[in-house]
Amino acid sequence: MMRKSPGLITALALLVFLPTHAMAQANTEADGADMQTGDKHWRAQKCAVYQEVRSEMLEEIPRGTLSPEFAKAEEDYIDNGCAGRAYACPKSKTELDYANKMSFAMMSHGLSGTFLPYGCKSGIQ
């Protein structure tokens, strides 16, 4: 009589479960929901955090040190609900320092750098 190994049974059970689990995750992502919490308003929450951190950072730098183009690109990004690709291109040392500080601050809030609008259409300037 042939005995089935517990490892083989476990492996077969995983093969059955994993495709279903992967499809459920794909559906959650397609709905715009966060994979961990299932929250469909995750982008709005991230955008609110971005706005809050941005306001705090702007208080720390002298007014007018960011170019109108850079500031407008950030504002357009926020007005668009922090969705889509934005290009707030840092062209001065102050803008680059600000973008770096914003990036670190946002990552400390659990957000990835890909969420941020900092970048240049033609690469680094």
Query: What is the model's pLDDT at position 39?
Result: 56
Q: In the prediction, which pLDDT does 58 show?
A: 94
Task: Go through the chain and tell me how many residues it has.
Answer: 125
Residue that is written with structure tokens 């809050």 in the block: 52
Q: CA torsion sign, 34 to 38 to 41 to 42?
A: negative
Q: What is the DSSP letter of 88?
A: B
Q: At what angle do helices 68-79 and 42-60 cross, to 10 degrees?
A: 150
Low-confidence ranges of the chain (pLDDT < 50): 7-38, 125
pTM: 0.64
For residue 22, count CB atoms less than 10 angstroms from its CB and return exposed for 0-12, middle for 13-18, buried for 19 or more. exposed
Q: What is the reported pLDDT for 101?
A: 94
| Integer Cα distance of 69 and 47 in angstroms | 20
pLDDT of 97: 95
Residue 70 burial by Cβ neighbours in a 10 Å radius (0-12, 13-18, 19+): buried
Instruction: Give the separation between CA 98 and CA 92, rounded to whole angstroms.
Output: 10
